[in-house]
Chain A
Amino acid sequence: MIGEGSLEAIVAAHAGREGPLLPILHDVQAAYGHISDEAIRAIAAALNLSRAEVSGVVSFYHDFRRNPDPRPAIRLCRAEACQSRGSEPLAAHAERIAGNRVRVEKVYCLGLCSAGPSAMIGDDVYARLDETALSELIGAL
Chain B
Amino acid sequence: MTTVRISDDALAIACGAERVARRFAELGCEVIRTSSWGMHWLEPLVEIDGIGFGPVTPADAEAILAGKADALSIGRIADHPFIASQTRLTFARAGITRPLSLEDYAETGGWAGLEAARALTPEAIVEQMKASGLRGRGGAGFPAGIKWDTVRLAKGERKYIVCNADEGDSGTFADRMLMEGDPFCLIEGMAIAGLATGAGKGFVYIRSEYPHAVARMRAAVRLSAPLIAPFEIEIRVGAGAYVCGEETSLLNSLEGKRGEVRAKPPLPAHEGLFGCPTVINNVLTLAAVPYVFAHGAQAYADYGMGRSRGTMPVQLAGNIRHGGLYETAFGITLGELVEKIGGGTASGRPVKAVQVGGPLGAYFPPSLFDTPFDYEAFTAVDGLIGHGGVTVFDDTADMAAQARFAFEFCAAESCGKCTPCRIGAVRGFETIDKIVAGDRAPSNLALVADLCETMKYGALCALGGFTPYPVMSAITHFPGDFVEKVDG
Contacts and interface: CB of A to CB of B under 8 A. Distances in A.
Contacts of B409: 79, 108
Given A22-B236, A108-B242, A114 B11 contact: yes
B34 to A, nearest CB: 18
B392 A84 contact: yes
Interface string B154-187: 0000000000000011111101100000000000
A113 B43 contact: no
Interface in B387-413: 389, 391-394, 397, 402, 405, 409, 413
Ranked 7 nearest A-B pairs via Cβ: A114-B323, A21-B256, A79-B170, A61-B239, A62-B240, A113-B317, A127-B14
B211 interface: yes
Contacts, number: 150
Contacts of A68: none
A18 B258 contact: no
A26 B391 contact: no
B391 A84 contact: yes
A101 B346 CA distance: 34
A112 B346 CA distance: 15
B15 A115 contact: yes
Contacts of B239: 22, 25-26, 61-64
Contact of B176 (A61, A84, A111): A111
B405 A113 contact: no
Given A22-B253, A107-B209, A123-B211, A63 B391 contact: no
Contact of A84 (B14, B172, B256, B319): B319
A23 B318 CA distance: 33
Main secondary structure on B side of the interface with A: mixed
B439 interface: no
B258 A114 contact: no
Interface in B267-285: 274
A20 B255 CA distance: 7
A125 B255 CA distance: 30
Interface in A75-105: 79-85
B19 to A, nearest CB: 12
Contacts of A23: 236-237
Interface residues of A, number: 41
Contacts of B259: 60-61
Interface of B: 10-11, 13-15, 40-41, 43, 168-173, 175-176, 208-212, 234, 236-242, 253-260, 274, 315-320, 323-324, 346, 355, 359, 389, 391-394, 397, 402, 405, 409, 413, 415
Main secondary structure on A side of the interface with B: loop
A82 B209 contact: no
B407 to A, nearest CB: 13
A139 B394 CA distance: 31
Contact of B405 (A22, A25, A80): A80
B40 to A, nearest CB: 4
28 contacts: A19-B256, A22-B236, A22-B239, A26-B237, A60-B258, A60-B260, A61-B240, A62-B241, A63-B238, A79-B171, A80-B318, A81-B170, A81-B318, A83-B405, A84-B319, A84-B393, A108-B359, A110-B209, A111-B176, A111-B210, A112-B11, A112-B173, A114-B320, A114-B324, A115-B43, A115-B323, A118-B14, A125-B212
Contacts of A60: 241, 258-260, 415
A107 B211 CA distance: 14
Given A23-B236, A114-B315, A80 B10 contact: no
Which of A47, A81, A85, A118 is the most central at the interface, judged by chain B CB atoms within 10 Å of its CB? A81
Given A113-B389, A114-B11, A63 B208 contact: yes
A62 B212 CA distance: 19
Given A60-B259, A80-B402, A116-B318, A108 B208 contact: no
